[in-house]
A and B are shown apart, each in its own frame.
Chain A
Amino acid sequence: MDKIYSHPQSLRDVPTHYCPGCGHGLAHRLIAEAVDELKIRERVIAVAPVGCAVIAYDYWDFDCSEAAHGRALAVATGIKRVRPQNIVFTYQGDGDLAAIGTNETIHAANRGENLTVFFINNAVYGMTGGQMAPTTLLNQKTSTTPEGRDAQLQGYPLKISEMLALLPGVKYIERVALSSPQEIIKTKKAIKKALLNQIEGVGFSLVEMLSPCPTYWGLSPKDSLEWIKNTMAKEFPLGVIK
């Protein structure tokens, strides 16, 4: 019988620190599989964020850099410009990419850097204890919106992907979800496409993944997947944005 499945070479065989039902482990794995399948492991330089995925470099088995909170796309710009032959991607959460790092995000996109961005949107700050993120939904309770997010006080969920899609330097943006086997298959396809774009020199590509955070949503892992499908994806519609 042919071997149809094995542990990705790009993913170290170690336990992760993620909570049960968290989407990060899955996202890491899908990226590792895509890197293996595209045979680019020895060319990849990843930039890890500050946030729950801060030690992503302990899980991936290829070259990685840290970045200060929000600065991943500035660090990635520096790397890619001096090593254009390498495949450089950032992996960033919603706070990192769309709050403290909004400036770096918009301008790297606007320069049309030939980079790939994996954007994990779980509508909450996980690492620091479940505070409001720029992508937190209206009425969603967090430790800093104990009565739920109120548009009058905290504004609206920030649709950074739609904003970035307006920029001519941006070549591909798709929003996917880590919520069901079907959506996970689509996610893997989008990840591969975003990496392939860079390999082919197409330009700035971003994949936004709606990702479960059962711990700070106060839901079971199973209910978290339902919440993505029935609630979060209503605010953040899935599909190719650009």
Chain B
Amino acid sequence: MPKILMSGNDAIAEGAIQAGCSFYAGYPITPQNELTAYMANNMPKRGGIFIQAEAEVAAINMVFGAAAAGVRAMTSSSSPGISLKQEGISYIAGAELPAVIVNIMRGGPGLGNIAPSQSDYFQATRSGGHGDYHCLVLAPASVQEGYDLTYLAFSLADKYRVPAIILGDGLLGQMMEPVKLTSQRPGLPAKPWALTGCAGRKANVAKSFYLKEGDLEKLNLKLQKKYKEIIAQEQRWEELFLDDARLALVAYGSMARIAKSAVKTLRAKGKRVGLIRPVSLWPFPKKAFAKPRNKYLVIEMSYGQMLEDVQLVLCGKAQVEFLGRSGGGIPSEEEIISKVNKIYNG
């Protein structure tokens, strides 16, 4: 199949449709509006449902309903809108429904601005709403990966019956790159738990409410067991020049592209630096840190959120430095190189 030029937002939308997503509800917010418009254009023509919801809160609850009824369903938004969706995401996790939520992050806190940012890492990787739960979180670093990871997110969400988040940023959403589309539609798994009407079976209930003593603890233990399996099976990352690296840079999403440029420039100058690019943010790719190394430099478009996961993995066994900007600032290749030069020989 030939490559076509697409924006990150469009590629994520197309990845969802190719994955068999047949329900989308969203609400306008910059910088992800192209995604919603793509769905409005394509879903009705290709057998899916598109709803412009009255609010972010309604959109995520429509997704709850469509997912409970057994179809692949998605919503998308940007940071302030994702905050509004947290209640619904918690219910989706509690009711063990598969769904995909796209967050094209912008600057915060509050209304912030519309510049690219990575400051929703904590919200995405911890339980962003109430309760002990996790969403599977995938972070694309290219338009192609926006397409591929969205496609993957649907199958992982179905496999584990969890909400999955695509965590991108305004840069990724807006940039255009060539994308190779898959020609295969996935087979959709059977969902005997779905609400379809109780013909020929006992009634199904989609719920997260367990009032009887001990029942909610049982649900939580079941969720924890599932999360353990996800942690064991679904860690994803990319490595570059790590074999002989004295210093490993750690960055994800758009930030990793700039870090990659810096690593290549530094390598050309004979510096033994490498890159770990987490692709799954939850589960965090701990396995990428298994080989002993002395120095790490974590780089984020935030003031140090993924940094805490790196510190947790390394547990004080290596030197961990940090470079980050937030609120619209993006660490440049020059800033990265300058920071590396300061710590490389130290």
A and B: interacting chains = yes
Q: In the complex, what residues of A have CB within 8 A of residue B245's CB?
A: none
Could you tell me the distance between the alpha carbons of A75 and B204 in the complex, rounded to whole angstroms? 16
Q: Do A75 and B64 touch (CB < 8 A)? A: yes
Q: Do A63 and B203 touch (CB < 8 A)? A: yes
Contacts A45-B197, A63-B197, A81-B49 known; A107 to B203 CB distance under 8 Å? no
Q: In the complex, what residues of A have CB within 8 A of residue B209's CB?
A: 54-55, 66
Choice from B57, B71, B195 contacting A63 with Cβ under 8 Å: B195
Contacts A74-B65, A75-B64 known; A45 to B195 CB distance under 8 Å? yes
Contacts A71-B57, A71-B58, A86-B196 known; A57 to B64 CB distance under 8 Å? no
Mark A30-62 against chain B: 1 for CB-CB distance below 8 A, else 0. 000000000001111101000000110100111
Could you tell me the distance between the alpha carbons of A83 and B67 in the complex, rounded to whole angstroms? 11
Smallest beta-carbon distance A83→chain B, Å: 5
- Number of A-B contacts defined by CB within 8 Å: 135
Q: Report the nearest B residue to A71, measured CB to CB.
A: B61
Q: Do B55 and A103 touch (CB < 8 A)? A: yes
Q: Do B203 and A62 touch (CB < 8 A)? A: yes
Interface residues of B toward A: which range?
35 or more
Could you tell me the distance between the alpha carbons of A81 and B54 in the complex, rounded to whole angstroms? 16
Could you tell me the distance between the alpha carbons of A196 and B65 in the complex, rounded to whole angstroms? 22
A64 close to B (CB within 8 Å): yes
B207 close to A (CB within 8 Å): yes
Q: Report the nearest A residue to B58, measured CB to CB.
A: A74
Smallest beta-carbon distance A59→chain B, Å: 11
Binds A, one of B87-95, B253-261, B338-346: B87-95
Contacts A55-B211, A66-B91, A66-B207 known; A78 to B197 CB distance under 8 Å? no
Q: Do A77 and B65 touch (CB < 8 A)? A: yes
B323 close to A (CB within 8 Å): no
Choice from A55, A65, A82 contacting B206 with Cβ under 8 Å: A65
Q: Report the nearest B residue to A75, measured CB to CB.
A: B65
Smallest beta-carbon distance A199→chain B, Å: 13
Q: In the complex, what residues of A have CB within 8 A of residue B23's CB?
A: 78, 81-82
**Residue among A42, A67, A79 having the largest count of chain B Cβ atoms under 10 Å:** A79
Q: In the complex, what residues of A have CB within 8 A of residue B54's CB?
A: 103-104, 106-107
Smallest beta-carbon distance A54→chain B, Å: 6
B198 close to A (CB within 8 Å): yes
**Which B residues contact A (CB, under 8 angstroms)?**
22-23, 25, 49, 51, 53-55, 57-59, 61-71, 73, 87-88, 91, 95, 195-200, 203-209, 211
**Which A residues contact B (CB, under 8 angstroms)?**
41-45, 47, 54-55, 57, 60-68, 71, 74-83, 86, 103-104, 106-107, 111
Closest 5 CB pairs of A and B: A78-B65, A74-B61, A107-B54, A42-B199, A75-B65
Q: 17 other contacts beyond A74-B64, A107-B54, with CB at 8 A cut-off?
A: A42-B197, A42-B199, A45-B69, A45-B197, A55-B211, A61-B203, A66-B208, A67-B64, A67-B65, A71-B88, A75-B61, A77-B51, A79-B69, A82-B70, A103-B55, A103-B57, A111-B51
